[in-house]
């Protein structure tokens, strides 16, 4: 039941210490914490240096130059952390991915790893994020706070694709191969910054296209987010614009299509769900 943690950080001084302290205070201790410092220009580098001095051999920092903020580097940075542990010969059953603005309860990793040990078909699992006391109403494992089975990660190539939709890609790759993913509803962690605080959801819309979302499903998701106030109206409009722009074609390689087999799998799953939703009211009416 061993694992290591990857933290991606940029200008994270406001929330970094609670994040790191919560990882250090896990009941099931990680073997290693690797932080990719993506060119921070605030006091993030100083904070990381202090933690590295206090926890030598247990805490590793990969410092990158400051090339400005770009969300497209996040999957690349996670891949870098993974390759660093591979070169070092670190062997664990699981690894955990975290943003720089999350604080986890002490039993967080233990509960997820215990679940995955008991249910060997589960390849990705997470708890549910909460911001300002408001719990996110997700239906699948979160990007931050997810625990991944290392054998599955290696099975699919040992890296995230550097493409819009990379976080969701991992979940659909598991489902496509007949595995399971799990969201633990009662395992809540703090995600200090609201969703979309940096990227404003534009790439979320593009991701729906790259992954092959059924158009009705994509539109329904945008409307549901707007009506339910899960994200702002501006965020919803950015999602719609991102989806439409991607469908019209883009020279940005980050918005390229995923493999057609996966896109077909995603679209079929979503169409089946649309059919179930559409026929359910009719079935209820015909009972009377």
pLDDT digits (tens, 9 = 90+) for 138-186: 789 999 999 999 999 999 999 999 999 999 999 999 999 999 999 999 9
- If phi over 0 gives left and psi between -120 and 50 gives alpha, with beta otherwise, what is residue 145? left
pLDDT attached to residue 287: 46
pLDDT above 90 covers what percent of the chain?
70
Rounded mean pLDDT, 19-31: 97
pLDDT at 180: 98
Average pLDDT value over all residues in the chain? 91
Q: Is the pLDDT of residue 229 over 50?
A: yes
pLDDT in tens, 243-260: 898 898 888 889 989 999
Rounded-to-integer distance, Cα 163 and Cα 237, Å: 21
pLDDT of residue 141: 94
Q: Give the position of tokens 């399971």.
A: 180
Task: List 149's β-bridge partners, or say none.
Answer: 94
Whether 267 shows a pLDDT value over 80: the answer reads: yes
Q: Which tokens go with 202? A: 């534009």
- Residue with more model confidence, 104 or 247: 104
Question: According to the model, what pLDDT value does residue 230 have?
Answer: 66
Dihedral class, residue 124 (left if φ above 0, else alpha if ψ from -120 to 50, else beta): beta
* Cβ burial, residue 46 (10 Å; 0-12/13-18/19+): exposed
Helices (H), 55-120: 73-88, 108-118
- For 269-280, what is each residue's pLDDT tens digit? 999 988 888 776
Strand partners of residue 8: 36
Residue 21 backbone phi and psi in degrees, to 5: -65, -40
The separation between the first and the last C-alpha atoms of the chain, rounded to the nearest angstrom, is 53
pLDDT category, 202, cuts 50, 70, 90?
Answer: confident
Q: For residues 120 and 141, give the distance between their C-alpha atoms in angstroms, rounded to a whole number.
A: 16
Q: Helix 260-286 vs helix 215-227: angle between axes, to the nearest 10 degrees?
A: 70
Quick one: average pLDDT of 203-218? 91
pLDDT confidence band for 77 (50 / 70 / 90): very high
- Candidates 26, 217, 206, 13; CA nearest to 103 is 26
For the chain, domains (ranges, CATH) are 1-197 (3.90.550.10), 199-288 (no CATH)
pTM: predicted TM-score of the whole model, two decimal places: 0.91
Q: Is the pLDDT of residue 29 over 50?
A: yes
pLDDT band at 47 (very low <50, low <70, confident <90, very high): very high
Residues found in the chain: 288
Q: In this structure, are residues 8 and 79 in contact, taking their beta carbons and an 8 Å threshold?
A: no
Higher pLDDT, 20 or 225: 20
What pLDDT does residue 198 have?
A: 62
Q: What is the pLDDT of residue 231?
A: 72
């Amino acid at each position: 039941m061993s694992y290591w943690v990857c933290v991606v950080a940029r200008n994270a001084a406001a929330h970094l210490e609670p994040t790191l302290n919560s990882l250090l205070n896990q009941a099931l201790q990680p073997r290693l914490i690797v932080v990719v410092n993506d060119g921070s220009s605030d006091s993030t580098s100083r904070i990381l240096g202090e933690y590295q001095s206090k926890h030598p051999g247990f805490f590793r920092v990969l410092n990158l130059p400051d090339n400005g903020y770009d969300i497209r580097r996040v999957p690349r940075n996670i891949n870098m952390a993974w390759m660093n542990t591979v070169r070092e010969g670190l062997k664990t059953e699981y690894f955990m991915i975290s943003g720089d603005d999350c604080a986890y309860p002490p039993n967080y990793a233990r509960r997820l790893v215990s679940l995955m040990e008991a249910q060997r078909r589960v390849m990705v699992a997470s708890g549910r994020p909460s911001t300002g006391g408001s719990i996110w109403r997700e239906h699948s494992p979160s990007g931050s706070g997810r625990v991944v089975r290392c054998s599955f990660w290696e099975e699919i190539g040992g890296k995230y694709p550097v493409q819009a939709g990379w976080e969701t890609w991992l979940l659909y790759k598991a489902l496509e191969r007949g595995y399971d993913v799990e969201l633990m509803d009662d395992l809540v962690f703090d995600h200090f910054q609201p969703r979309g605080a940096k990227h404003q959801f534009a790439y979320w819309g593009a991701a729906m296209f790259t992954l092959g979302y059924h158009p009705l499903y994509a539109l329904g998701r945008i409307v549901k987010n707007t009506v339910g106030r899960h994200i702002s109206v501006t965020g919803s409009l950015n999602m719609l614009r991102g989806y439409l722009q991607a469908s019209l074609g883009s020279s940005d390689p980050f918005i390229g299509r995923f493999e057609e087999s996966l896109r077909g799998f995603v679209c079929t799953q979503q169409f089946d769900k649309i059919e179930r939703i559409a026929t359910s009211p009719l079935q209820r009416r015909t009972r009377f």
